[in-house]
Chains A and B, each alone.
Chain A
Amino acid sequence: MSVPGEEAAPVSSELVRSYVITGGRRLPSADDLSLHMLVTLAPDRELPLGASPEVRAIWELCAGGYLAVAEVAAHLGLPVGVARLLLTDLTEQGHLLRRSAPPPAKSESRLVIEKVLHGLQSLYA
């Protein structure tokens, strides 16, 4: 029996697939693209020649509007790390726009917390 939410998968075709998609590259750290960072396709961009099926899928998905990094991964059925790598590539090539998650500065996060609180209170007061 496996522990719920934690499956020890031996070498799976899934994993090999991830390896192929990423070209075996090290996955980027999350510093840059946090799970809740919003991304969308920049206007007037052209799909790079020879784009992989995964990049095409991201391209099509992100053309429609803003989604969080985790949403992109979930919609495409990719592990977060793999989605993040492909999104990082596209960002470096100038194809993606981001809308930031708040920086960790205390004053900034206080502002965000206030907005979240007001939003929740007006929905559920």
Chain B
Amino acid sequence: MDSKASMPKPSYVSGSVTTAAKILVVGHFAVGKTTYIGSLSEIPPLRTEERMTQASAHVDDLAGAPDKVTTTVALDFGRLTLGDEVVLYLFGTPGQQRFVQLWEDMARGALGALILVDPARLADSFPVIELVEKYGLEYSIAVNSFTDVLYEEAEIREALDLLPDTPVSYCDARDRASSARSLITLVKHLLVRTA
């Protein structure tokens, strides 16, 4: 064994890639965000963190002060190379986070957001939907199937108070093809909305 503790070589983005895109995968606690990202990512999902005091441009009196209480928020993300030119990053963070700086950072340059919901706990999704709307992101809903109970789309739409053209898809976040279908539903919607 090499005694030098060198990092394992990461998998680099293909040299032919010219464009990096970002889509957010959001939702309340334990709704399946990390699972979803992992099912689509070509690299082992990565985790990084943001510090909310030092990093915040909005908390001037705390900036640079090392002796303040700080909050750490984890971001999970994965990567998917699409054809020769495009690499898509999927970023997830818990939806109950209300840090302005975190959301601005996440939303900046994002094409849109996929909001994962658990049909048995729809009310838990209100805060995250509100945040996504607040940051002006286009979105679609992916209903994660934790049980075999079928929840009617009409019921879900009504409970979440969705606009008629907001897409609702069903997915199993553990299943790659199923996750991909929900992502395609979102991206089709994004295309319509940028027409």
Binding site for B on A (CB under 8 A): 3-12, 15-16, 18-19, 24-27, 29-31, 34-38, 57, 60-61, 64-68, 70-71, 73-75, 78-81, 83, 99-102, 104, 106, 109-110, 112-124
Residues of B within 8 A of A78 (CB): 48
Q: Are A7 and B71 within 8 A (Cβ)?
A: yes
Task: Give the interface size class of chain B.
Answer: 35 or more
Q: How far is the CB of B30 from chain A (nearest CB, A)?
A: 8
- Which of B118-126, B140-148, B159-167, B184-192 sits within the interface? B184-192
Instruction: Bits for B1-43, please: 1 = Cβ < 8 Å to A, else 0.
Output: 0000001011011010111111100000110000000000000
Q: Are A36 and B51 within 8 A (Cβ)?
A: no
Q: Are A65 and B66 within 8 A (Cβ)?
A: no
- Evaluate whether A5 and B46 lie within 8 angstroms (CB atoms) in the complex, with A101-B21, A102-B19 already known: no
The B interface is mostly helix, strand or loop, or mixed, namely: mixed
Instruction: Bits for B73-108, please: 1 = Cβ < 8 Å to A, else 0.
Output: 111010100110111110101101100000011101
Q: Are B51 and A38 within 8 A (Cβ)?
A: no
Q: Are B188 and A117 within 8 A (Cβ)?
A: yes
Q: How far is the CB of B120 from chain A (nearest CB, A)?
A: 18
Q: Are B194 and A110 within 8 A (Cβ)?
A: yes
Q: Does B69 contact A (CB under 8 A)?
A: yes
Q: Does B183 contact A (CB under 8 A)?
A: yes
- Evaluate whether A38 and B20 lie within 8 angstroms (CB atoms) in the complex, with A71-B10, A112-B86, A116-B88 already known: yes
